[in-house]
Each structure stands twice: as structure tokens, then as C-alpha cells.
Chains A and B, each alone.
Chain A
Amino acid sequence: MRKLIIALAASAAAIIASGGAFAADKAKACFIYVGPIGDFGWSYQHHQGALEMQKNLGGEEKVEIAYLESVPEGADAERAIERFARSGCNIIFTTSFGYMDATNAVAGKFPDVKFEHATGFKRDTPNVSTYNSKFHEGRYVQGVIAAKMSKAGVAGYIASFPIPEVVMGINSFVLGAQSVNPDFKVKVVWANTWFDPGKEADAAKALLDQGVDIITQHTDSTAPMQVAHERGVKAFGQASDMIKFGPETQLTSIVDNWGPYYTERVKAVMDGSWKQVDVWGGMKEGHVVMAPYTNMPDDVKKAAEETQAKIVAGFNPFTGPIKKQDGSEWLAAGATAPDGELLGLNFYVQGVDDQLPKQ
């Protein structure tokens, strides 16, 4: 019996020792995804960013990647994150808003592990960072294109959930469109899902039946693109370049480009320079990239490129004069919306044909 205990203790010590050596020359980066990596949208792009990061930092020799797909945003999230923290991850990326409480709870228990929470605002301990991208900058460009391409003057918008991020995107799209055609309108359908090809396709059909002739989406599947193709109208992709799914349909797509950020952060863990940050990068930082402008005349393409250049140069899509949906003034001429207000946005600007739930 004593021999057995000694043998067990020795093997345990060997495992711990090998684990320590392993951590020193190789980093382990772990990712929690809310959807399947095959969604060709949100989770797919995060995974692409993870793979790009691994390549940039020297491949599998230097960085080990682990991930969990389709983790529900309830009690399961905390377990999934804690299992990662215990399995030797040096840095854990939790890539959906609903993981906010769980990320902070686990971070409190594991001060040596770094946590990066996408789209949240809570950083309870110094080992939690938050990061997000200014996708609404891309939506402003899409709005410009939509107004130039649409004959009806109305676009259909398939939205996921009424959270500030999505409301901001709708407003930015409308503002972009109104910079071309001041009477431009947007109809919104709330799909109440991030990823459900069936529901998203139904939403696209309902919008097209109401007379819109451009489709844009803030949900992650390629279904709306395929519906737009069947109906012979143009559409915008979401999160990734969806040109494969609509070679004659996609005008452009906002590509979530997480690779540069993931590379920077994992590198910081490896060289010991990691510090808590709250990052909101946009086109200028290369975190938001537009897929090639396709299926549009040259003058529209030129307008899109000019708008993009303007934003990269520092233009804020939320620059006054802007009126709220009810006609009251939001931003005076020349004023820009502060980041803090945008990140908690819960009202529409004029031109949105929809009502938000009220508190």
C-alpha cells in the first residue's frame, strides 16, 4: 500500500512538473463560442481569428488552441470557462455577451489566467479585458450602397436581439443611407436568434413581400443571402465574406477580423506584457474589414470606397445633425455621440420603421 502511494505521488509530481515546463515555452489559448464554428458568421470568424493568431505566432509548436462550440449562455457557461481555466489555458476568450457574469466569476477564482470577454462591459478583476469592434462603421458604408442601389427606397433589416450593438447597427445603416437619400426607410424584423437559418429565411421572405428591395442582416447564417438570390434582389453578408453563397447577390459584407487582436493579446501573454484593456476597434485598426464591393455599378463602388476612406480617416457615422425617431433632436450639427452613449443605445433615429421594447 505504501509503495502504491509513493508511486502515485511520484507520477502526480511528474505530471505537475511536465505541465509546468510545458507552460513555459508554449501558450495555450482557449475559446468559447456561442454557436457552431460552421455558422459562417460570428463564431466562424472568431475561430478564423484564432487560427490566424496561431499561424502568426509560430503555429502549433508555440500556441495550442482549444475551443468549445455552442456553449449555452446560462449556468453551463461558468462550468465551461472554469474547465478551461483548470485545463491549463493561459488566456481564455469568451466570445458572446451572455458569458459576462460567468467570465468575471471564474476570473475571480483564477488570478493567473487572463480572460478576454467580447462585447461586454464588466471587468471585476485586473485579469479581465473586454473587446468589441465598431461594426456600425461598416453598416454606414452599407447604408450608402443600399440607398444608391435601391429603387424602392426601403431596405429590409433582419435583426437578432434588441441590444445596443444591434440598435446601433440599424441606426448607422439608416444614417448612411440618408446621407444619399434623406427619405430612405428601413423595415426591421426581429428574428430573436443569432443563428437559425429557417427563421432568418422566413424573415427575409416577409421583408421582401413588404416591398423592400435590399436585404441586410444582423444574424449569422447565410440563409437571407440565399433567399435574396432566389428573389433576384441584392443583399449584404454578415460577419464573414459570404460571396460563395451569393456570387450574384452579395454587394459587400462586414468581415469581423479578430486575427490582429487575438495575435496581439496572446503575444502579450507570451512575453508577459498583458494588461487589462477595453478595446473598441474599427476600420482604422483593421478590426472591421469590408469584403470586396461586388455586383454594383462603378459609381456606387466609388461612393462606397470614398465613404470607407472617410471613416478610416476618422469620420464618426454618428455625427449630427441627427434626430431621434420621435423627431426630437439627438445630436446638434457637428456634434458626435460619445462612445459611452453608443454602447448603451436604446432608441432609433428617424427613418426606422419599427418600435423598440420600452422599459
Chain B
Amino acid sequence: MRLELAKRPQHSKLFSALSPFIAFVLTVIAGAILFALLGKSPGAALYAYFIAPLTDLWSLHELAIKAAPLILIAVGLAVCYLSNNWNIGAEGQFVMGAVVGAMLPILYPGLQQSPLALPVMLVMGALGGAAYAAIPAFLKARFNTNEILTSLMLVYVAQLFLDWLVRGPWRDPAAMNFPQAPRFTGYAVLPELLPSAGRANIGILFALIAAVLVWILLARTRKGFEIRVIGMSPRAGRFAGFSTRGAIFFSFLLSGALAGLAGISEVSGAIGRLQPSISPGYGFAAIIVAFLGRLNPLGIVAAGFVLALTYLGGEVAQIEVGVSDKVVRAFQGLLLFFVLACDTLIHYRIRFVPSERLAAVLPEAKSDA
């Protein structure tokens, strides 16, 4: 006997709406069992995970810092994925955005005194990310190269390029030969929202504005319609006169620009300088965020905050409850598993295929038996 997923003829509207909540309840139950088996109080652990990070103002600031790059990148990726372009290289576009944006304060430190520094850096960052995303886009449009591979491989190129820069030409002479670029100063630093309460910066505003604009683009404009049609059926798109190549470039450049903007915002805001590692994998985590948000920009905002919360909550659980970071990550995995499983089961049902039928379909299975 084996299991098979069969598409449901129609899916329930009610359960579509309820699905994230069901997933959350299942996660809480599974998590409680997990913590109880480890000899920790499930109540305390779940409180540490989901509630404690929300009880302090400074912690909310940290939540915004963590969620901002996730949302900004994921919103761009949603456009890519809806148009059936699989950009896996947002991490690299993030890094290149940071590098190109940082050229201004590092190569022309004097310009940091000008109020124009930050806007120019942000634009350069977005252009850097977009230019880097243009490489897999061009390869796909021109040679039909698999964009999953090219965009992913370019991540490592970008990371090593940054590594080389901060160890070599851009190394801070005052840093005792340690690998880091000089700190940004003056107007090159991304302003904080409410400096007295915490260190959240205006990066979170960029994320929210981008989410709203992309939502409008997808839901209300012809371009958005074009992207959806090409994504669902390239043939139908062609009959309608939509350009598949145009969609490739549009979606890659847009998502690259948003990832690049996230990159320069992160280094000029939360980190304050270029250093060998500037991202704990935001570009990859954002892929999860995009799908958790069901490729809807407004859903992505919620998903970004939820994923950010699990990082913060994981830390509190380590400190307050004393579970190891492996448990914390397993728990994070449980949450993602249940969310995706619930979403899948709305559109599909599980069908049991008896072994006789299986044997009929696969003759070799019979000879094995």
C-alpha cells in the first residue's frame, strides 16, 4: 500500500482561512510534547517562545530589525515565483546591494557629511542588487539556462567577493588587520525610528511600503495580471501577447532591487559597517517567508514577523528555559512543517493506493513480492 496526494476538485474557503491557526495549534501541541519529553515545563517554554519577546519595547524593536530584511526580500521573491521564475539567489543580491551601496561611504568618506549620502546609497544598493539579479535573468532569457542553479551559484560568488573586499582593498586601516571595513558615520547611517526605546531603523518602513506597493502592483495593475498569467500558463500568456522574456527581466530586476535595498539597509543600519558576514541567511529564510505568506505581499508581512518572532523566542527559550539551540531550531522546523502541511491538505487529499493496484501499475513491484 502506498499514499498518494490527489488534488481536491474544490477547496474549502473556511479551512483556507483557518489553516494558519490550525497549524499554530498543532505546533503548540507538538511543541508542548517535545518540551515535556525534555523535562522542561511546556508552559514556560511556549511562553518564552511566543509571548516573552513581545513584552518589552526594546524587544519589539529587535523584532522589527529581524523582520525588515525578511519581508523586503520575500515581497520581491513573491513576484518572481508568481511569474514562474525561481530566483534562489536573493542572498547574493542582498550582499551585492550592500557592497555597491557601501561604495559611497568607503571610497568617498567625505560625502558622508552630505544629507544626500543616504538616498544615493539606497539607490545604489537597489541598483547593485538588480544588476546582480540581471545575470541569471539574462542567462535564462537568452540561453534558457536553469535560473535556480545560476542564481544560487552567484550567491557564493557574491559572498566571496565581499569577503575579499573586507580582507583586502576595503579593510579598515584602524582595525588591526582584522577583516572589516570602516564604520559608516554621519548621514550614511540609516536613521533609527525611536532612538530612546530601541534600535529599530527605518528599514522596517521600507519593508512595509514595498509590501503595499507590490500588493497594488499584483492586484490592481495590468503588469501584475501579466505576471500571474505568464506564471500560470506561459502559452496563454503568449496568446495574450505578453512577453515571457519581459516577465523574466521584470521579476528578477524587481526582486534583486528589493534584496539589494535590504542589504544596504542592513549594513548601514543594524550592523554599521561591511564585514565578512552580513547576513545570517536572510535571502534563504525569505524564500520560506514568501511561501508562508502564500506569495501575497500582505501575507508576507505577517509571515515575516512570525518567522522573526521564532528567532527571538528561540533565544529567550535558550536563556530562560535552558533548552539547546538544536531544540529551538527543531521547534522552528515544526512550525514551518505544520503550516505547509495544512496548506497542502487544503488543496490535496491523501489517497491510499492498495498494493494490488500498485502491482498492476508497476510490474517490477510484483516480481519483488
Contact segment of B80-88, B165-173, B233-241:
B165-173
**Cross-chain contact A74 with B325 (CB below 8 angstroms):** no
Contacts of A67 in B (CB 8 A): 318
Contacts of A72 in B (CB 8 A): 277, 280
* B114 at interface, CB cutoff 8 A: no
> In the assembly, what is the distance between CA of A66 and CA of B323, in Å?
10
* Pick from A75, A80, A97, A344: contact of B65, CB under 8 Å: A75
Q: For A68, A346, A357, which residue has the most chain B Cβ atoms within 10 angstroms?
A: A357
Interface string of B255-295 (1 = CB under 8 A from A): 00000000000100011110111111000000000000000
Contacts of B273 in A (CB 8 A): 101
**Cross-chain contact B277 with A79 (CB below 8 angstroms):** no
* A36 at interface, CB cutoff 8 A: yes
Q: How far is the CB of B55 from chain A (nearest CB, A)?
A: 11
* Known interface pairs A66-B319, A161-B179, A344-B177; A79-B167 also in contact (CB < 8 Å): no
**Cross-chain contact A343 with B176 (CB below 8 angstroms):** yes
* Known interface pairs A98-B275, A101-B273, A357-B167; A163-B179 also in contact (CB < 8 Å): yes
**Cross-chain contact A359 with B171 (CB below 8 angstroms):** yes
Q: How far is the CB of A56 from chain B (nearest CB, A)?
A: 21
> In the assembly, what is the distance between CA of A76 and CA of B47, in Å?
21
> In the assembly, what is the distance between CA of A101 and CA of B184, in Å?
13
**Cross-chain contact B319 with A79 (CB below 8 angstroms):** no
**Cross-chain contact A75 with B270 (CB below 8 angstroms):** yes
Look across to chain A and name the residue whose beta carbon is closest to the beta carbon of B272.
Answer: A101
* Pick from A74, A83, A87: contact of B280, CB under 8 Å: A74
Contacts of B66 in A (CB 8 A): 75-76, 79
* Pick from A76, A79, A163, A192: contact of B177, CB under 8 Å: A163
**Cross-chain contact B179 with A162 (CB below 8 angstroms):** yes
> In the assembly, what is the distance between CA of A297 and CA of B122, in Å?
63
> In the assembly, what is the distance between CA of A120 and CA of B123, in Å?
34
**Cross-chain contact A359 with B65 (CB below 8 angstroms):** no
Using a Cβ–Cβ cut-off of 8 Å, how many residues does chain A contribute to the interface with B?
A: 36
* Pick from A66, A86, A344: contact of B58, CB under 8 Å: A86
> In the assembly, what is the distance between CA of A86 and CA of B315, in Å?
13
* Known interface pairs A69-B325, A86-B56; A98-B65 also in contact (CB < 8 Å): no
* B72 at interface, CB cutoff 8 A: no
Contacts of A82 in B (CB 8 A): 58, 62
Interface string of A37-51 (1 = CB under 8 A from B): 000000000000000
* B199 at interface, CB cutoff 8 A: yes
* A125 at interface, CB cutoff 8 A: no
* A197 at interface, CB cutoff 8 A: no
**Cross-chain contact A74 with B176 (CB below 8 angstroms):** no
Number of A-B contacts (CB under 8 A): 89
* B4 at interface, CB cutoff 8 A: no
* Known interface pairs A192-B163, A345-B177; A79-B324 also in contact (CB < 8 Å): no
> In the assembly, what is the distance between CA of A343 and CA of B175, in Å?
11
**Cross-chain contact B168 with A357 (CB below 8 angstroms):** yes
* Pick from B169, B279, B312: contact of A359, CB under 8 Å: B169
Q: How far is the CB of B180 from chain A (nearest CB, A)?
A: 8
* A116 at interface, CB cutoff 8 A: no
* B320 at interface, CB cutoff 8 A: yes
**Cross-chain contact B179 with A68 (CB below 8 angstroms):** no
* Known interface pairs A87-B319, A357-B164; A69-B324 also in contact (CB < 8 Å): yes
Q: How far is the CB of B356 from chain A (nearest CB, A)?
A: 45
* B178 at interface, CB cutoff 8 A: yes
**Cross-chain contact B320 with A87 (CB below 8 angstroms):** yes
Contacts of A101 in B (CB 8 A): 183, 271-273
Contacts of B324 in A (CB 8 A): 69
* A260 at interface, CB cutoff 8 A: no
Contacts of B46 in A (CB 8 A): none
Contacts of A192 in B (CB 8 A): 160, 163
Contacts of B168 in A (CB 8 A): 357-359
**Cross-chain contact A80 with B315 (CB below 8 angstroms):** yes
Contacts of A343 in B (CB 8 A): 176
* Known interface pairs A82-B58, A87-B319, A358-B168; A163-B277 also in contact (CB < 8 Å): no
Look across to chain B and name the residue whose beta carbon is closest to the beta carbon of A87.
Answer: B319
* Known interface pairs A68-B315, A98-B275; A344-B176 also in contact (CB < 8 Å): yes
8 Å CB interface, B218-264 against A: none
* Known interface pairs A36-B325, A74-B277, A98-B275; A83-B315 also in contact (CB < 8 Å): yes
**Cross-chain contact A162 with B319 (CB below 8 angstroms):** no
Look across to chain B and name the residue whose beta carbon is closest to the beta carbon of A163.
Answer: B178
* B316 at interface, CB cutoff 8 A: yes
8 Å CB interface, B43-73 against A: 56, 58-59, 62, 65-66
5 contacts between A and B (CB under 8 A): A75-B271, A97-B178, A164-B176, A164-B177, A346-B177
6 residue pairs, one from A and one from B, having the closest CB atoms: A75-B270, A72-B280, A344-B176, A346-B177, A69-B325, A357-B168
